[in-house]
Amino acid sequence: PVGTELTAQFTDGEWYKATVVAVSKSDKRAKKPVKVHFLGYDESEDTWVGIDGLRSKLLKKEDPAGKAKAKTKAQPKAEKGAAAPAGTVPVGTELTAQFTDGEWYKAQVTKLRKGGKPVRVHYLGYGEDEDQWVALDQLRSKLLKAGAPAAAATKAPAKAQGWATFKEGQKVKADYYGTPYNAVVLQVSEAPKRAKKPIQVEYTGYDERAWLSADSIQASKSKPKSKAKPKKA
């Protein structure tokens, strides 16, 4: 029911704490009937999800492992000045780190811990909500013995191909489960978290919003003006 707190899967494939804000019985919403709000994030991040994108004791089909944990759980902090685990880099080191979209961005080490992903990084120029724990093979630094080849150029955060053709307020044709609908662009995001689906649209005539990739949107073409017919003498 609306108001239920649970764990929901975001478009990046990760699980976060969320609250149910709407449940739809519309045929159009059959595949993703539940709208959730991710706790600690803006309402613009609210999204419709399917039942398989939810984890809650109220659901009959529970997570097989029964141990789903929200990603917002606090992580142990590493004291500044403390010795870094073998093979890692000290807190405060600036380097290049790989994000979930597979691209590499300038970042800074903020915390350390033991385990498969021992280094937490902050992506320079982005919000703290984009911070994440990464493995050593997702880091590039001269301080790491097994560093990446120097020839591997650091890719600066850039808009994916096609982004530049869309602007806020632009009328477009946006895909919805394989069918194009009239829509309006609400915003275009450059956040790493939004790399795969950077454009948010609102479907015209519906109270529906969605984040889409550039190849799921087509710019609406304006009708050519009819040429004036020559007057007869």
Nearest to 205 by CA among 230, 184, 224: 184
Task: Say which residue, 26 or 221, is predicted with more confidence.
Answer: 26
Alpha-carbon distance of 125 to 198, in angstroms, equals 17
Nearest to 143 by CA among 167, 189, 166, 112: 112
pLDDT at 35 over 90: yes
pLDDT at 14 over 70: yes
Alpha-carbon distance of 130 to 155, in angstroms, equals 17
Lowest-confidence segment of 72-86, 113-127, 189-203 by average pLDDT? 72-86
Average pLDDT, the chain: 76
Lowest-confidence segment of 44-53, 75-84, 184-193 by average pLDDT? 75-84
Task: Say which residue, 13 or 108, is predicted with more confidence.
Answer: 108
The answer to whether residues 200 and 185 touch, using CB atoms and an 8 Å cutoff, is yes
Task: Say which residue, 154 or 58, is predicted with more confidence.
Answer: 58
pLDDT at 82 over 50: no
pLDDT at 200 over 70: yes
pLDDT for res 184: 93
Please state, as a whole number, how many other Cβ atoms lie within 10 Å of the Cβ of residue 33: 16
pLDDT for res 232: 55
pLDDT for res 157: 44
The answer to whether residues 183 and 202 touch, using CB atoms and an 8 Å cutoff, is yes
Task: Say which residue, 128 or 227, is predicted with more confidence.
Answer: 128
pLDDT at 147 over 90: no
Q: Please name the residues in contact with 75: beta carbons below 8 A apart, sequence gap of 6 or more.
A: 111, 113, 120, 133
